[in-house]
Structure 1
Amino acid sequence: MEEFIHFLRLHDHWSVGVLDRPNPKSWQRKEIRSLLSQTNPRKGKLDVQFEDLPEDVPCIIFSKLELKEVVKSSILSSKWRNTWTICSKLRFDASKMYKHLTWRYYITKFIDHVNRVLKLQHGKVVETLEIKVDFGSILAVHLDNWVSFAAASCTKNLALELVPRYYWNRIDRYVFPFELLDGEATSRLQQIQLSFVSFKLPYQFSGFPKLKRLDLYSLRVTRTDLQDLLSSCSKLEWLSIAKCDLEDEVIVDRPLSHLLYLRVARCKMTKIELDAANLRTFIYNGTQLPAPTIQAQELKDADLVVTNFTTFEHALTVLPKMFARSSALLGKSSKFSQLKHLKLLLCHTPEDLDNILSLASFLRAAPLIEELEIHFSISGGGNADIGRLRNLPKCPYKHMRSICITGFNGIQGQAELLVHAVKNATALEVLTIDTGNKNAKRQETVGEHSVPHGRVQPLLAAARLLRPQAQLASSSTVCHQANASPSTSTTPVTLTDQVTTD
């Protein structure tokens, strides 16, 4: 049972104020109370020193601290010189330990340092073991030994962050030794973080029955090994796979009913298929849209970023199929019945601008959507010539409270989408329109001559008139002008002047 320890500083004495436990009959709690009842009759103060506490209480206190803090405390008293060896959380970060040394000069020192600490920890419980160092072939044998140490030390959280500073052309990886983890070790692990690794599962691999969090980065693996690993983690709640060079499909044949969070970033996988009935968050970042099929009846947050060129038609064809087997999400008119926050980052060329209005299909597929973010990055600024705005059938978004559009140039497709969203968002509270490009690494504001101000201002003024209860928020000059009274040179227009309603 978790103890809640409160430290008090009483002048020149170290003491513990209270050690609360759910069991009020704990002998430790009684003894601490009796100790704290002792006072100095002359000073009228508590006269309890740290060494007066029961022997295992300091051990509990130090075990809750980080290794760095425990080592610092060991210099306060000769009796505490070796107390740091009872720390149950070990984190070794070469970048912080040897900030000003290059890899070839510090790697031997780092290996010796880790080995000495682990030798002192031999036979003790170490709940967390984290190693962060640039990988090199000299490390492979030592990493195997450190994994063996974790297996023998009842470790619950294991992290090996081995990504070198410069690794773009490197094909080597640390081969993670799953064969060193016996049944007891795999049944204890709850969190695993591996980066710059490859692996091959041993024959009759038993899996991780209690693993809740799995983070894989810069991974080289076969389709079969990755599928078998994921299928063996039935209690998994959080999964992230980034920079995996597997150019194949991944199909998890066992339900991941506990999975709440899924992130797939910069991977080459062509297909992702899994059953995650309780998935709440799905994040995808890649150069192309894969063909995933995810059963996720409880999905509420989807963040999809496609960095390669793709047409809206392709996106609208692929995305609805991503959750095609989620029967609870499908209906006659809705695809994502639980989706509440939609964020789109769009980088495209002028020839695709006529399709911007088709983004409304995403809104119609999410009847409970509350927040909409669209970040445009349009090369060339778009054509300022605008004809009559096209109309879409009325589709109320009764729960839409916030709309944020950046990279807004006032071109026809953007104007049509803004008109459609504002007209149908009857409960709109916040409308943010910004001409700045949020997709760029450095924030850029569209130049004065590239933004058709004469078109943007009337649209914003019309939106203000149609939804007066909404707060119009932006840092851009255009929006500030829209908040102000319209100038005599610009005549505000209502949205109904531009669109024929049904």
Structure 2
Amino acid sequence: MKKLRLELYGNKVDSFYVDRWIHIAVTAGVEELAIIMPHIPGKEEYNFPCSLLFNGGENSIRYLYIAMCAFRPTAGLGCWTKLTRLLLSNVWIADDELEGLLSNCTAIQHLELKNCSEIVFLKIPLLECLTFLRVSLCINLQVIESDAPNLSTFCLFGGLVSILFGSDVKNIEVSCLKFGPPNIVRFARTELLSGAPDVERLVITSPNEMESTPMLSSKFLHLKYLHISLIANEAISPAYDYLSLVSFIEASPCLETFIFEVQQPDMKHDSIIGDSSPLRRLPQHSHNNLKSVTIIGFCSAKSLVELACHIIENTTSLEHLTLDTSHGCRSPGGRSLDKPDRWYYTVSGSLMAAPPDRCLPMWGRGIEESRRARFAIRKHIEWKVPFGVVFEIVEPCSRCLMPNF
């Protein structure tokens, strides 16, 4: 037996028998072990028998997934020499207990922590093999500090925390959907650089931005790929200035790909339609490496038109520009531009995931705004695109105009 997965339900689980199964798994030399306990309100959580894992398990277990229980490793239990992947979900474990556990996982490569509410200060010790870290919905977490020298990918989902990495982290994703904290984009611009100065690929998903992105002197000197998504339950705050995203572009001299995605059931920004005032112009700054720019959910918001114009007028290396007024349709076929997980709003305004092989359905206000966006492109943008740049305007196809979910 190489794999054992115990996924238990109900309110009459006897911990004695669970302990027996774990003991059998360890003595049988299991390489992959998953224990998912039921959530029983008002009942004390199952206390995972850590000592059983160090009764031979440290010599065989490569993958360990524990969910919905207390996990209290103590000092002196031994060293896991083969464990490469550790996932803890809804687990009660204290800061010092987790740090002590990780110190003994010398071969670990992949670490995921989800909804571990006791963790306040996450300290990653000197783990030579650790390359991937994902932290999700740990509501009391305030600081993440890592001494792992080869950590290359970091994903943070949920609240904002202070980070300090001693390694050259190259890939970072910071995400928060629906009712999470706003201003994730502002956080990334103001706080992320000090903790991860060598990032090359950055993906940001924010439920809303209440404050515009500030212009700062600090630079993302190695950033080549930037994807920013604003996914609001209602409308993106009209106080947010889309043109302020130039702060990211000007701070990233090596940037090659920029994708900006806006998903919202309604548009509250000032529209350029009927506005006779001149477009704002920021001080000229030449972008010499930016090759591909895509704006998904392009609308008639004046500051978004100004952002597109700024990019066109200041990017000498631009090769491909896509303005998608359909919120993600890639007719024919509804192909996803970048991420397999896309989002759309139902008629009632609730946020749902969209299959990667489908177009995103659109209704009245979205269809009308798509037409307004197309008019704004014709009047203010299309004629400015330099000769030789592949310019693509994506409009709703027939499948976008009818519900197909």
Instruction: Report the TM-score, using the length of structure 2 for normalisation.
Output: 0.72
CA distance in 2, matches of 1:175, 1:361: 49
Question: Structure 1 residues 447, 327: closer, same or farther in 2, change over 3 A?
Answer: closer
Q: Which residue does the alignment assign to 2:172?
A: 302
Q: Which residue does the alignment assign to 2:366?
A: 447
Shift of 1:461: 1.8
Q: Deviations over 1:426-473 (max 9, x none)?
A: 24336252342854434453524445333233355246x326442526
Shift of 1:376: 1.6
Q: How does 1:364-383 map to 2 (within 5 A)?
A: 364-378=250-264, 380-381=266-267, 382-383=269-270
Q: Which residue does the alignment assign to 1:140?
A: 15
Q: Which residue does the alignment assign to 1:344?
A: 229
Residue 458 (1) aligns with residue 348 (2): no
Q: Which residue does the alignment assign to 1:241?
A: 113
Question: Structure 1 residues 309, 235: closer, same or farther in 2, change over 3 A?
Answer: same
2:118 aligns to what SS in structure 1?
coil
2:135 aligns to what SS in structure 1?
strand
Q: Which residue does the alignment assign to 2:317?
A: 426
2:304 is aligned, of 390, 401, 414, to: 414
1:270 is aligned, of 117, 135, 142, to: 142
Q: Deviations over 1:344-392 (max 9, x none)?
A: 34536434322x3332333344444443332223564122145422325
Q: State how many pairs are aligned.
A: 341
Shift of 1:133: 2.8
2:324 aligns to what SS in structure 1?
strand
Letter of the 2:72 partner, please give it.
Answer: K
- Structure 2: 5+ residue runs without aligned partners? 202-216, 329-341, 345-350, 353-359, 401-405
1:394 is aligned, of 268, 278, 285, to: 285
CA distance in 1, matches of 2:220, 2:265: 32
CA distance in 1, matches of 2:262, 2:144: 27
Shift of 1:395: 4.0
CA distance in 2, matches of 1:352, 1:309: 16
Q: How does 1:116-195 map to 2 (within 5 A)?
A: 126-134=1-9, 136-162=11-37, 172-182=44-54, 184-195=56-67
**Larger-gyration structure (1/2):** 1
Whose helix proportion is higher, 1 or 2? 1
Which structure ranks higher in relative contact order (CA pairs < 8 Å, sequence separation ≥ 6)?
2
Letter of the 2:222 partner, please give it.
Answer: S
- CA RMSD in angstroms comes to 3.3
Q: How does 1:461-500 map to 2 (within 5 A)?
A: 461-462=382-383, 465-466=385-386, 468-470=388-390, 472=392, 474-476=394-396
1:215 aligns to what SS in structure 2?
strand
Contact 1:304 1:344 in 2 (8 A): no
Contact 1:302 1:339 in 2 (8 A): no
- Structure 1: 5+ residue runs without aligned partners? 1-125, 481-502
Q: Which residue does the alignment assign to 1:52?
A: none
Shift of 1:274: 0.8
Aligned sequence identity (%): 18
CA distance in 2, matches of 1:392, 1:346: 29
Question: Structure 1 residues 327, 200: closer, same or farther in 2, change over 3 A?
Answer: same
Contact 1:152 1:185 in 2 (8 A): yes
Q: Deviations over 1:134-179 (max 9, x none)?
A: 2645242222111111211112211123355xx7x56643322111
CA distance in 1, matches of 2:316, 2:91: 44
CA distance in 1, matches of 2:290, 2:60: 44
Letter of the 1:457 partner, please give it.
Answer: R
CA distance in 2, matches of 1:399, 1:178: 51
Contact 1:303 1:342 in 2 (8 A): no
Q: How does 1:184-223 map to 2 (within 5 A)?
A: 184-223=56-95
CA distance in 2, matches of 1:425, 1:163: 58
Contact 2:298 2:304 in 1 (8 A): yes
Letter of the 2:376 partner, please give it.
Answer: R
1:363 aligns to what SS in structure 2?
helix
Q: Which residue does the alignment assign to 1:321?
A: 194
Instruction: Report the TM-score, using the length of structure 1 for normalisation.
Output: 0.60
CA distance in 1, matches of 2:387, 2:96: 54
CA distance in 1, matches of 2:381, 2:38: 48
Letter of the 1:384 partner, please give it.
Answer: S
